[in-house]
Structure 1
């Protein structure tokens, strides 16, 4: 795919090529994300000013912007410095005072000659019952009136950038809009009643009222769809390129999986069975698998992943399960040991801590194929590690890896299949924007026997009661987590540090009863603290959020989260999922510092009312928006200028199926619609897609 199509050149010119944009303004515009004329087209107005003329200002509310025809009656120049000049004008029914500060007299006389008619537009105020407009926005002769839009668009600004300038710049960019061939599926466009692209851009910048600013207005919906379609076409191209890379058919007999399932005291849920079947079917095809296994806390992802790993072993290959941290790798190891024994498969763990002879022995056994399943951290992808026949890589907790790392992973084994697990329920629209290059399996049922966790909200003046409650629970043999927001006392932030809380609880509950784990401990210290808690030697574990992911201590039935209002919804839901894993009734106590903000209260209320991670995630998205929810910096989420992932999630799903269908019918985008889509990718600056097309 050669360079940018010529038809788009005018949209990618320098900003200074636009009328009214000098060097100074050209430096201001990037602050609102505008670097070229195309960016102005996608910077849509966020509100409108109604400039439709009225007969008289009588009866109009103060603070309203009015446009009215008047006759100029008299001038009253400023009497002394610092006082305003006044011009009295009259509409059909009443007098209006126009107020000007620092205005030169001759300028006022020229603008508003006594006895002539003018049209004035500005904000109406009343002073001592007298209507007045301070510094009108517009003073027009009747010949100039047709140039004033009835609804004036209002754009985002930055210091030094005025609406007038912005309006001029946008009009300059609109004059450069080319007529482009259509890339949207014709039946979809007809069904939605969307305008052509150029018409949509013009209409979006000339709203005829508030309705035209709604995300559902045809012009805006079309432009939003274009963004989502460009994003999904890029991901569909990435997915196609992955799938084009030949996979290997990994088809097991199912015998080992049957042994494991027979050894379990419960039957898998319908969702687990369905997900396992989808994954094994992908592995058995000759295309490479790239699948996301999305499940709520405690939905039983590990069992599904293990059944997939057994599929690799049954076919004569090997499998790897990768965790983001050593604690989690060791925990997976513990969780899987019983299952591996039931299947008679050799399972080993490899982390950065394996040294010397022990490490050499494991590497030899991996290379010879004696180890069937390996559990580890990123350490398993170092240069000196060789597998005999690696078929499947399972990655736990996806969002700690990015799209780029996903690409590297496949390089270890020949045509390795990849399964990514995430315990963070992601709303469907975000899942598509982030993982549209993958196929998705969802676990939406809880395994039998998982008890609901009782959730309570307490203000922080009730901490002494909570400690007394803990003392009683410990005496009954129960265990608890106490999560703190920060590691050490900081002057600036009044969040209780884990260190302080640890000392306080030790004093209250006894020296040996309380452990501490946080991000600044060495791996050995962390492991020792965790091991003591798992073994029940310590009864309360004070921790920062290092325990958020995956830790499994069935005897722990109380979760205390201090300053709960400072955590994100998804994090709180993850933390709560650490309890309720055993047979005891579990509680989660969220301690907050009053007064709570309105959103803070809404977030904590959602958690108290629901244990459904997907509902919580949708709510989180509505409250915080997409970027914050997964931390835009590391989320790999595209930034959309027009599309709104919270409110237009339905459009995203349509864009995905549309993009995949187009590539199915026209793999190298050479049809009329395909060529139009290429131009659209250039316009939307989807460089990744353009590279993939060149490769494809």
Structure 2
């Protein structure tokens, strides 16, 4: 249960002053539905009204607070013109400008002949200073009420800054004093204050430096958030360790047959990763391991050899992929190798229906099927295994932890889990997103893979590219042509896939095919099969082909509007070519002029094919939230911490969390009890349920 001391922070945001029914939805969109969400919504800037120049000293574009005498009012002749008020002091005069005002309101707030304090941004118009819609207009005796320093918050359309400021002012008195969960000497070394004063200070910056991530108040709050994240992941991992596993050891007879049938020897990285997986499977604990491998590094083979160990020991294995195309691809790759070993492998997707599905389910439940490959159809209720001991989850970031657990529950408590991703993840993100797992990395390419020649061309040269395809096709090449969007949209005037297909079809005829996400799976598969057989030579596609599509004959990749793709995506797409022994090329077509970030991405793509280096650069260029292409990528969405800027804090939080779990795994000590409050504060309640006594 959430501790009572936190109840005020979890009250609805609408209970705060200034948030009525109309603004409630906007506040929810911006920050969230609770008081604490607004408290985590920290200022992004500062308005400093301490500057008190005379009119002759005001500077263009600066915020000034000036004492003036109100002069002549000049109402507009038509509604389209502004209402102007002349004001002056002993050094000069200026105009105050209002659009669509209520004249009675202006007459009341700025009576002619009286003195007023005005505060707002000054702009020069035709050489003279003016102030449009001052932020504050106050009589001299109310000067003490004028906020000299005002926090500026990130906003969303339709939500006024004043409303957020008012709501936050209402939320701050609700902040309770909480017991200290940080290590005393560490706080002292960092020169950080206690939690409550730090939160109040973060909302009351005194200078521009106070809104930077390195400001002491902000760094303290960011560290709290990172520690909550690392501690929660550590507790999940501890629970996995505590759950009874089963020791699985094969005799190698099936594995040996498959290794003998492979056209190449395993790379050092594959052998190393397999040894780590074998050790996990042998141990009495449950395995939860992440296998990271770049495009084409041979993850599928490692997964198969690990699954065969389970089959040798008399158990079953399952492999789950996020899309039907990918599930079928895995099945097509694994089936011939399983045949060599005499192992029964089957495919289960949403498309298997009726009698076929019933037979498959029966064979899985009786243990006749050794390995079952499928989409999330695998964890529907009617799917049962006789003895599932090993589950492989591909492209983890497309599945939530919840789905991962659902699959493992099919095998009873001891199922070992291997999670694979072809999106190389920088070390910092591995800690925050996959801290509950052990990690193996495949950082070598199988022998015989040639580098892909990557070039960048402006879109004006599109016709040159089209005519050069004639040569490629005459030389027996197959081509992917990737478009950024499926349909013309007003917001993005992309060359839509359907339009590009029509264009290329007019030039090359029936050797051009089209796949996109809106097609029925059956139609998509039919086109892919024709491309794999070589009947289709140019495949126009959206990013549905980003992951897992394997056509060794394809040697040319054209990516249109490359500037719209993230680095990880460009790298994934490029990985679709260069899979056979032939020389391959990748053309990045971009809309000139290129922005700074897009230019940097294209430069990196031309410099390297190392997915891990590309991932680090992508994190630097885009930030963590965007890294895996979507916000729903299973990555934690940090409210305060910036893990690229605050890598060092993340590493410290990781070590701190590990030490806490070693010394006080059930959080029973004084600090442990305070840490429970920290977990509730950052809504990591899930982790508390894993404590023996919580």
**TM-score, length-scaled by structure 2:** 0.86
Which of the residues 669, 672, 686 maps onto 2:670? 672
Q: Residue 76 of structure 1 aligns with which residue?
A: 71
Conservation of the 8 A alpha-carbon contact between 1:345 and 1:372: no
Aligned counterpart, 1:397: 395
Counterpart selection for 1:651 from 640, 649, 652:
649
Given that 1:484 and 1:545 are in contact with CA atoms closer than 8 Å, whether structure 2 keeps it comes out as: yes
Describe how 1:327-346 pairs up with structure 2 within 5 A: 327-337=325-335, 339-340=337-338, 344-346=341-343
1:61 paired with 2:79, answer no
Look up the SS of the partner of 1:78 in the other structure: strand
Alignment CA distance shift 1:636-1:583 (3 Å): closer
How far the C-alpha of 1:455 sits from its partner, in A, is 1.2
Q: Which moved more, 1:489-498 or 1:170-179?
A: 489-498
Q: Which residue of 1 aligns with 2:275?
A: 277
The CA deviation at 1:219 is 0.8
Matches within 5 A, 1:7-406: 7-13=5-11, 29-33=27-31, 35-53=33-51, 61-67=59-65, 75-78=70-73, 84-90=84-90, 94-95=91-92, 97=94, 99=96, 102=103, 107-108=109-110, 112-113=114-115, 121-125=119-123, 137-138=135-136, 151-157=149-155, 163-164=161-162, 166-254=164-252, 256-258=254-256, 260-261=258-259, 263-337=261-335, 339-340=337-338, 344-352=341-349, 366-367=364-365, 369-406=367-404
1:564 to 562, 565, 572: 562
SS in 1 for 2:550: coil
**C-alpha separation between the residues in 2 aligned to 1:683 and 1:397?**
31
Does the CA contact (< 8 Å) of 1:433 and 1:637 recur in 2?
yes
Secondary structure of 1:175's aligned partner: helix
Displacement of 1:195: 1.8
Kept after mapping to 1: 8 A contact 2:55/2:88 = no
Question: Do the aligned partners of 1:18 and 1:169 also contact (CA within 8 Å) in 2?
Answer: yes
Distance in 1 between residues matched to 2:363 and 2:195, nearest whole Å = 60
Q: 1:96 to 1:445 in 2, by over 3 A?
A: farther
Distance 2:481 2:406 in 1: 38
Structure 2 counterpart SS, 1:456: strand
Q: How many Å separate the matches in 2 of 1:46 and 1:623? A: 20
- 1:137 Cα deviation after fit: 4.2
- Is 1:330–1:349's contact at 8 Å kept on the other side of the alignment? no
SS of residue matched to 2:632: helix
C-alpha change, 1:631 and 1:130, in structure 2 (3 Å) is closer
Distance 2:384 2:14 in 1: 57
Q: Helix, strand or coil for the counterpart of 2:618?
A: helix
Stretch moving more, 614-623 or 156-165: 156-165
Q: Name the residue aligned to 1:605.
A: 603
1:544 aligns with 2:542: yes
Is 54-63 or 142-151 further displaced after alignment? 142-151
Partner of 2:456: 457
Give the structure-1-normalised TM-score. Answer: 0.86
Structure 2: which 5+ runs fail to align? Answer: 78-82
Tell me how far apart the structure 2 counterparts of residues 14 and 369 of structure 1 sit (CA, whole Å): 52
What is aligned with 1:441?
Answer: 440
* Residue-by-residue CA offset, 1:129-162 (whole Å, 9 max, x unaligned): 6666566545678887676665432223457765
Tell me, in whole angstroms, the C-alpha distance in 2 between the residues paired with 1:507 and 1:122: 60
Q: Which residue of 2 aligns with 1:661?
A: 659
Secondary structure of the corresponding residue to residue 588 of structure 2: strand
Q: CA deviation at 1:240?
A: 3.1
The secondary structure found in structure 2 opposite 1:291 is strand
Q: Is the 8 A contact 2:55 2:94 kept in 1?
A: no
How far the C-alpha of 1:587 sits from its partner, in A, is 0.3
Post-superposition shift, 1:85?
3.6
State the shift of 1:492 in Å. Answer: 8.5
The whole-number CA distance in structure 2 between the counterparts of 1:396 and 1:406 is 10
1:41–1:334 CA distance, 2 compared to 1 (3 A)? closer
The residue that corresponds to 1:420 in the other structure is 419
Alpha-carbon separation, structure 2, partners of 1:522 and 1:67: 64
Q: Any conservation in 2 of the 1:98–1:136 contact (CA below 8 Å)?
A: no
Partner Cα separation in structure 1 for residue 124 and residue 557 of structure 2: 59
Q: 1:264 to 1:131 in 2, by over 3 A?
A: closer
The gaps in structure 1 that reach 5 residues or longer are none
Given the superposition, is the C-alpha separation of residues 694 and 558 from structure 1 closer, same or farther in structure 2, using an over 3 Å criterion? same
CA apart distance, 1:453: 0.6
- 1:190-240 Cα shifts (integer Å, max 9, x gaps): 333322101211221222211111111111111122222223333333333
Structure 2 match to 1:478: 477
CA distance in 1, matches of 2:43, 2:387: 57
User: How far apart are residue 256 of structure 1 and its match?
Assistant: 4.4
Q: Is the 8 A contact 2:55 2:89 kept in 1?
A: no
- Give secondary structure in 2 for the equivalent of 1:84: strand
Aligned residues: 682
Contact 1:326 1:351 in 2 (8 A): no
State the partner residue of 2:587.
589
Distance 1:13 1:358 in 2: 52
Distance 1:160 1:330 in 2: 47
In 1, are the aligned partners of 2:566 and 2:629 still within 8 Å (CA)? no
Contact 1:429 1:650 (8 Å CA) reproduced: no
Report the more deviating stretch, 346-355 or 671-680.
Answer: 346-355
- Provide the rounded CA distance (Å) in 1 between the counterparts of 2:539 and 2:85: 72
- Sort the Cα spacing of 1:171 and 1:125 in 2 relative to 1 into closer, same or farther, 3 A: same
Q: CA deviation at 1:54?
A: 5.2
In structure 2, C-alpha distance between the alignment counterparts of 1:471 and 1:40, rounded to whole Å: 59
Equivalent-residue separation in structure 1 for 2:14 and 2:400 (angstroms): 37
Provide the rounded CA distance (Å) in 2 between the counterparts of 1:255 and 1:54. 85
Q: 1:159 to 1:362 in 2, by over 3 A?
A: closer
* Alpha carbons 1:564, 1:592 under 8 Å: kept: yes
Give 1:416 deviation, angstroms.
Answer: 1.0
